Structure 1
Amino acid sequence: MQIVPVGPGFAAEVRGVTLADVVTSDAVYAEVRAAFEEHSVLAFRGQEVTDEGQLAFSRRFGPPEVTKVGSLGTGSHFITLTTIGPDGKVVPPDHRYAMRNKANQLWHTDSSFKAVPALTSILSARIIPDNGGETEFVSTRLAFERLAPALQHKLEKSFAWHDYNHSRSKIAAGLATPEERAALPAQCWRMVWRNPVNGRGALYLASHAYAVEGMEAEAGLDLIEELTEAATAPGTSYMHRWRQGDVVMWDNRATMHRGRPWPAHEARLMVRTTISGTAADGIETMRPPPRQAAE
């Protein structure tokens, strides 16, 4: 196995192993898991991907999420991200599928709006466009380490509110359905997630974040936007250019990502599994004390 760094201080390609190797070998899994904790983003090129194989690989890292209401794949462990409609044709730009893909072009962290946030997301390329459609990542761990110590200390004690409807409303009113809003009430999480394996802290931000506990609404949103801009500054990202059969996994505790646009007439089909975080991943340290919980 080779772990080859590909990004600016984070992200690596894992070469010489398959997803099945990780499933069947404890030694291979341990090495990949250590690389995940260190590099935050891991790319496996040229895999023979099936739903069953992706799910077995995913389960190695923890309990898979059940896909939320309103998504393609609701009730399963898979989220289908596509612009291909039921008739097999590419949907028009104003179709809900296309609009949801546009929402994924905002910088975000998967599942920060859920009652149990995610450890990792695992995305496989099934059909890719000839041009565009890359996924861009930044390290919120490195972003946190670039901040002044006084601000680091402040953020370690701060909590932000995350809401799925907030991010979707940036794209179009009503993009989040009433069923989704009812199923996904706002969640409050610490603004720094410290990795229990290596002790390194990372900003926990997303396009879903809309308020900071204890701050006026405008000031809190300004802080979130300033931190996001700092974390996504030019020269800090890794851009993954997809090939058929690629599988990429990332640490939602320590990264943000966004999809990049592609020509509207070109098809794209990606399948994602998402692994819920556990106490071993530091979730309990992220929850606000009861006195800070809001209505």
Structure 2
Amino acid sequence: MRIEQLHEEFGAEISGINLIDAVSNADAFAAVRAAFEEHSLLVWRDQPISDDIQATFSRGFGPLELVKVGSVGHGTFYSRMNNIGPDGQVVPLRDMAMIVARANQLWHTDSSFKRLPALASVLSARVIPEQGGETEFTSTRAAWERLDAAEQSRLRDAVAIHSYATSRNKIDPGMMTPEEHAALPPVRRRLTWRNPVNGRCALYLASHAGAIEGMAPQEGAALLESLVARATEPGHTYVHAWRPGDVIMWDNRATMHRGRPWGGTLPRSIVRTTISASLADGLEDVLPELWAQRAAA
């Protein structure tokens, strides 16, 4: 297995081992898992990808999330993000698939708004336009480490409110259905998530976060916006230009990402599987209720 650094702060391309080998051999899996903990973002090129291969690889890291209500693939393990209709043709720009694509162009970390947040996401390229549609990533671990000691002390135990409606309302207040609103109430998350393997801390941010407990609404929203802007300053992001067969895995505890526009007139299809976090992944650190129990123990 070869590891090539993609950005000075995070990210690595893996070669010399495919996805199935990575989880079918104990030594290979240990090496991949160590690379994941160290680099937060892993890229494989030229993979013979399928739904089954992607799910098998993803399950090596933990239980898979079911796709939420209101999304294509609801009730399965596969979140299908594409602009290809049932007839095989590209959908109109006003189609919900394109509205969702616009929302995904906000900086976010997957599933921060769910009752159980995500450890990691695995995204595979199935149909890719020749230009546009890149995915941009940033390290919120590096962003945390760039803060001075006083800022870290002030933010370490702050609690943010995450809600799917917060990000969707930025695009279209009518985007969510009543069923989605009922299924996805706001949740509380600490503003930091400590990695239990290496002890490194990361800001836990997303466009889904809209308020901070104990702060006036405008003040909390402004602080969150400022932290996202600082985390994503030029020079601190990696932009991935997709090719068919690419697979990317990222750590939702320590990164943010966003899609980039591609116009929507050319076909594009990508498939995501999402791995739920567990106590072994430091889950108690980001859930205020569990963290308080641990602190009192």
1:208-223 map, 5 Å:
208-223=208-223
Q: Is the 8 A contact 1:123 1:273 kept in 2?
A: yes
Matches for 1:20-35 after TM superposition, within 5 Å: 20-35=20-35
Alignment correspondent of 2:72: 72
1:289, 1:163 → 2: CA distance?
17
How far apart, in 2, do the equivalents of 1:187 and 1:9 lie?
Answer: 30
Write the distance in 1 (CA, Å) between the matches of 2:120 and 2:198: 17
CA distance in 1, matches of 2:132, 2:282: 35
Give the AA of the match of 1:105: Q
Residue 46 of structure 1 contacts residue 245 of structure 1 at CA under 8 Å; is this kept in 2? yes
CA drift at 1:271: 0.4
Distance 2:22 2:116 in 1: 25
| SS at structure 2 position matched to 1:141 | helix
Q: Report the Cα offset of residue 14 of structure 1.
A: 0.3
Residue 270 of structure 1 aligns with which residue? 270
Deviation at 1:88, TM superposition (A): 1.1
Question: Following the alignment from structure 1 to structure 2, what is the Cα–Cα distance between the partners of residues 197 and 212?
Answer: 28
CA drift at 1:205:
0.3
SS at match of 1:119: strand
Q: Residue 239 in 1 paired to residue 239 in 2?
A: yes
Q: Distance in 2 between matches of 1:51 and 1:107?
A: 26
Partner residue, 1:60: 60
SS of the residue 2:198 aligns to: coil
Shift of 1:289: 3.8
- What amino acid is the match of 1:188? R
Take 2:281 and 2:264, find their aligned partners in 1: how far apart are those partners?
Answer: 38
Contact 1:78 / 1:271 at 8 angstroms: preserved in 2?
yes
Name the SS of the counterpart of 2:226 in structure 1. Answer: helix
**Alignment of 1:153 onto 2:149:** no
Question: What corresponds to 2:86 in structure 1?
Answer: 86
> In the alignment, what sits opposite 1:44?
44
Equivalents in 1 of 2:218, 2:173: separation in Å? 20
User: Which residue of 1 is the match for residue 198 of structure 2?
Assistant: 198
* Superposition deviation, residue 251 in structure 1: 0.2
Matches of 1:87 and 1:174 in 2, distance apart?
A: 26
CA distance in 1, matches of 2:79, 2:241: 20
Gaps of 5+ in 2: 293-297
- Determine helix, strand or coil for the equivalent of 1:77: coil
Q: Percent of pairs identical after alignment?
A: 55
Deviation, structure 1 residue 135: 0.4
Paired with 1:108 and 1:133, the residues of 2 have a C-alpha distance of: 16
The aligned residue for residue 259 of structure 1 is: 259
State the distance in 2 between where 1:258 and 1:132 align: 13
Following the alignment from structure 1 to structure 2, what is the Cα–Cα distance between the partners of residues 287 and 271? 28
Partner of 2:286: 286
The alpha-carbon deviation at position 285 of structure 1 amounts to 1.8
Between the aligned partners of 1:153 and 1:114, the Cα distance in structure 2 is 27
Paired residue type of 1:175: M
Tell whether the 8 Å contact from 1:131 to 1:263 is kept in structure 2 after alignment.
no
Secondary structure at the residue paired with 1:21? helix
Instruction: Name 2:102's counterpart in structure 1.
Output: 102
Classify the secondary structure of the residue corresponding to 1:52. helix
| AA partner of residue 287 (structure 2) | R
Stretches (4+) displaced over 6 A: none
Secondary structure of the corresponding residue to residue 233 of structure 1: coil
8 Å contact 1:3–1:13 — kept in the other structure?
yes
Deviations 1:8-42 (A, max 9, x none): 31000001010010121011110000000000000
Match of 2:167 in 1: 167
**Structure 1 residues 53 and 289: CA distance shift in structure 2, 3 A:** closer
Paired with 2:125 and 2:173, the residues of 1 have a C-alpha distance of 30
* 3-state secondary structure, aligned to 1:168: helix
Distance 1:285 1:12 in 2: 26
Q: CA deviation at 1:157?
A: 1.2
1:126 corresponding residue in structure 2: 126
Contact 1:159–1:191 (CA<8 Å) still a contact in 2?
yes
**1:130 Cα offset (Å):** 1.0
**Counterparts of 2:94 and 2:151 in 1: how far apart (Å)?**
41
Check conservation: 1:8, 1:237, Cα contact below 8 A: no
Secondary structure at 1:3 match in 2: strand
Amino acid at match of 2:80: T
Q: Deviations for 1:47-81, whole angstroms, at most 9, x for unmatched residues?
A: 00011010000000000001111111111111000
Superimposed CA distance per residue, residues 196-247 of structure 1 (whole angstroms, 9 cap, x where no aligned partner): 0000000000000000011110000010001000000011000111111000
Q: How far off its partner does 1:153 sit?
A: 1.1
Matched position secondary structure for 1:37? helix
- Give unmatched runs, 5+ long, in structure 1: none
Note the C-alpha offset of 1:264: 2.0
